[in-house]
Structure 1
Amino acid sequence: MEKVKVIQDRPKTARIRQKSYAGMRRRELEFDVVGNVAYELELTMSLGSIHPLFHVSMLMKCVGDPSLVVSIKNVGVSDFLSYEEVPIEILDRQVRRLRTKDVSLVKVLLRNHKVEEATWEAKEDIKAKYPFLFHVADEEA
């Protein structure tokens, strides 16, 4: 009976010991409303709908490149601070073979983007949305 009592007491003893260890290492945490982890940015009036407070994890170092600066007026930003990507030119074409069919792709250059940022899109989708990119001579080729 004594051995059974000892076996039952061991988990209780271990639990008490672990609780005391955790208590010794615990410390009270204090949080500041802003502190050193947030930045408040001075935004222009046109960006007034954006909250000016940003956490440091959302910010990245930016080395300015004047060639990448695009005027908001030229892009056509909506009231919801979004804009439509409009393709302006087809740079290349290719056909990808899938298991059961061939898919025609076109490499599309988007407005306000560099050639290196061109993307491959399904020809059918682009042709349906932007038929002005396709000429009669292109279809015969």
Structure 2
Amino acid sequence: MAGMKREICEFVVPSKLLQPVMIPEWKWERVMMDFVSGLPVTPKKKESIWVIVDKLTKSAHFIQVRIDYSRRRLVELYVPEVVRLHGVLTSINSD
């Protein structure tokens, strides 16, 4: 048991390096986004889903996309799907 505790302490980031999480003041002010890919291909040849999540409410938009969409095409989808409903955001986090 002591060996397991030591391994966990070595693996976990020391608390002095952690940064506080910024809590948004208003819904759809800050979002996170990512792609879920490798899904079965739809009749319109889309095999991915673009997931856009509000950091405050955890509500989300799920947009069917193709893996080869350009950034320009994603913006063309983003404006009517997100900006039209929620306005321009303060920040976007993605990896």
- Is this a same-fold pair by TM over 0.5? no
Q: Using structure 1 for the length normalisation, give the TM-score.
A: 0.24
More helix per residue? 1
Structure exhibiting the larger radius of gyration computed from Cα positions = 1
Higher RCO, 1 vs 2 (CA within 8 Å, ≥6 residues apart): 2
